[in-house]
Amino acid sequence: MKRPLRIRVLLSGAPWSIFPAGGWSRLTDAFIFAAGIALLYGMVRVAQSWLGPFTPQVEISLSPTALPRYAAYSLGRITVAYGFSLVFTLMYGHIAAYNPKAERFMIPVLDVLQSIPVLSFLPGLMLAMVALFPHRQLGIELGAILLIFTGQVWNMAFSFYSSLKSIPREMRDTARIYRFSWWQNFTQVELPFATIGLVWNSMMSVAGGWFFLMACEMFVLGSRDFRLPGLGSYLQTAASAGDTPAILWGVGAMIIVIVLLDQLVWRPVIAWAEKFKVEQVQDRQAPRSWVLEILRRSVGLDRLRQQTVAPLGEWVALCLARKPAIQAPRPQRPEWKKWVVRGVGTAVIAAVLYAVAGAVLMMAGLDGSEIRQLLRAAGATFLRVNLALLLGAAWTVPAGVAIGLSPRLARVAQPVAQIAASVPATALFPVVLLAVVGAGGGLGVASILLLLLGTQWYILFNVIAGAIAIPTDLREAATIFRLTRRERWRNLLLPGIFPYLITGLVTASGGAWNASIVAEYFRFKGQTISTVGLGATISRATDIGNFHLLLAATCVMAAIVAVINRTVWRRLYALAETRFKLEI
């Protein structure tokens, strides 16, 4: 009679309930300990590889047996780049949100930087890293990591900045009444409120890291060929050779890694982040994760948290929360410090002016035909980018709202969206190009599809985060008042997701400009296929080492993005901060 009961319990979704509490905890602790040892061993092996002697050109094997090692290398680079991105996001977003003078400068700069293609950072960054560590593999590894960082960080920074600007007034007033220190305000108000958007944009950032992996792990700079062992270099080598089985093996390995990350990292983080949702009624269909359940049942982790993590956190909060009983008047800055600040400011301005003058002199070598080529290329890429944004928003807004409001649908759609966003479209581009050409199109049409494949996910992930953040009590109120579908979209859904939608559109726009370098210039079976556009101009200039044309094309792209930021995105952000802010 006991055996059927054991089987029924196992099938009910709670396998730990068939074990004694102590036995299951010991098994969980042993598994966690083994996973920690394995992670430490992997970190040591990666560190040994990075600190080894510099290898000028690595031969990339297309054998499937090399894929586990390549996957580990790529995952390590993406993880380190994400750590840098998170630190940058918290610092940059906080300063931009609370310093109005800095905000007027930092947000346009952020928009311009996220739109500059990875290849525009590549020459100076990679040469600088190799020169900094000329005899170690660490130089080229750091260069690749920083290139991945430039493809990850921008949408996270925009998300954190937008969340800080949207914090309800009553939450800020409460923190002010209780005299929170900056650390208490950051850890108990700002970071919790921004967690949901930051988590979903982190998933998109990691997916973007996988997307640009092919450009970051294998590239040509003039006469020098830089290669790193990884999934990106494996896929690019297979795509250049037209080896379809190798492409499928590489994409399959990447999908396996993404699914494992979804189960072991992102799904537990999403379930954990649900507690930071601003609402008065708990959602009856909150997301769950079997990994999070296991971690919560671990006695070893609970003891570690109670005896080490919690006391340390309390000590840090207590130290940073201490304030003097009487606020002494702030002493005036000594005269010599004022002169030091003025001197540093003057030096910075002089350095900027020197760099601008050097850039102007470098671009002065452009002739009339190259200038006309740049203007025509800018117009073509501008049209492609905006058409890709319209097509992407047309389906991602309704799909994102549906996924965000249904945890059951999210459990299926979330890993599918991560896989689709992470698989480099350039690996599938030969198939897309052949299909479009066979239908009577050309690279001009195929490039729009590639831009769409690379940028629509920014909108989707932000819309999902916005739909999840809509309080359950507001959704139940809409049901009680029997709002029609149109009224629900007009009065609840669109206002609720509007700040997140703007963040998604801004990052998707920057991502589209960035992705133009691979959408408009493609190598296939030893041939180069290109179309008119700024991305093709930048890629071609990088290949032949034409740095004055590369600089001019990058400056034109940055100017276009700055104008769009000033005339469109800045006004929409102001509208999101005033009219569509969740507060009582």
Per-residue pLDDT band at 398 (split at 50, 70, 90): very high
Residues 78 and 190 in one domain: yes
Going by C-beta distance under 8 Å and a sequence separation of 6 or more, which residues neighbour residue 127?
221
Q: Which string of b and e fits 276-297 if b means at least 16 CB within 10 Å?
A: ebbeeeebeeebebeebebeee
Per-residue pLDDT band at 160 (split at 50, 70, 90): very high
Residue 183 is assigned to a structural domain of this protein = yes
Residue 338 is assigned to a structural domain of this protein = no
Residues 512 and 468 in one domain: yes
Is a pLDDT exceeding 90 seen at residue 397?
yes
Residues 372 and 303 in one domain: no
Residues 293 and 375 in one domain: no
Residues 267 and 300 in one domain: no
Residue 271 is assigned to a structural domain of this protein = yes
pLDDT 10s digits, 209-252 = 777 777 777 766 656 667 788 888 888 788 777 777 888 888 88
Is a pLDDT exceeding 70 seen at residue 141?
yes
Q: Which domain holds residue 295?
A: 18-50+289-320
Q: With CA atoms as reference, report the closest residue to 254 among 460, 64, 67, 46.
A: 67
pLDDT value, residue 291: 79
**What CATH number is given to the structural domain containing 278?**
1.10.3720.10
Is a pLDDT exceeding 60 seen at residue 327?
no
Cα 123 vs. chain centroid, distance in angstroms?
Answer: 22
The residue ranges of DSSP E strands in 483-567, in sequence order, are: 521-524, 527-530
Q: Compute the distance between CA of residue 114 and CA of residue 513 in angstroms, rounded to an integer.
A: 9
Give me 272's structure tokens.
């954990």
Specify the number of domains making up the chain.
2
pLDDT 10s digits, 80-118 = 999 999 999 999 999 988 888 888 888 878 877 776 666
160, 89 contact by CB (below 8 A): yes
Residues 208 and 195 in one domain: yes
Residue 332 is assigned to a structural domain of this protein = no
Q: Compute the distance between CA of residue 582 and CA of residue 584 in angstroms, rounded to an integer.
A: 7
Q: Compute the distance between CA of residue 391 and CA of residue 528 in angstroms, rounded to an integer.
A: 27
Residue 352 is assigned to a structural domain of this protein = no
pLDDT 10s digits, 474-522 = 888 888 888 888 888 988 888 888 988 988 898 888 778 877 877 787 7
Residues 538 and 558 in one domain: yes
Q: Compute the distance between CA of residue 397 and CA of residue 79 in angstroms, rounded to an integer.
A: 29
576, 166 contact by CB (below 8 A): yes
Is a pLDDT exceeding 70 seen at residue 169?
yes
Q: Mean pLDDT in the chain?
A: 78
Is a pLDDT exceeding 50 seen at residue 261?
yes
Q: Report which residue type is found at 36.
A: G
Is a pLDDT exceeding 60 seen at residue 57?
yes
Residues 452 and 559 in one domain: yes
Note the pTM of the prediction, 2 decimals: 0.73
**Nearest 5°: phi and psi at 284?**
-75, -15
Residue 11 is assigned to a structural domain of this protein = no
Residues 26 and 126 in one domain: no
Residues 135 and 41 in one domain: no
Is a pLDDT exceeding 50 seen at residue 8?
no
Residue 246 is assigned to a structural domain of this protein = yes
Q: How many CB atoms lie within 10 A of CB 179?
A: 10
Residues 26 and 57 in one domain: no
Pairing type for strands 224-227 and 521-524 reads unpaired
pLDDT 10s digits, 11-45 = 344 444 444 444 455 676 777 777 778 777 777 77
Residues 474 and 454 in one domain: yes
- 442 three-class SS: coil
Residue 522 is assigned to a structural domain of this protein = yes
Q: With CA atoms as reference, report the closest residue to 94 among 174, 147, 167.
A: 167
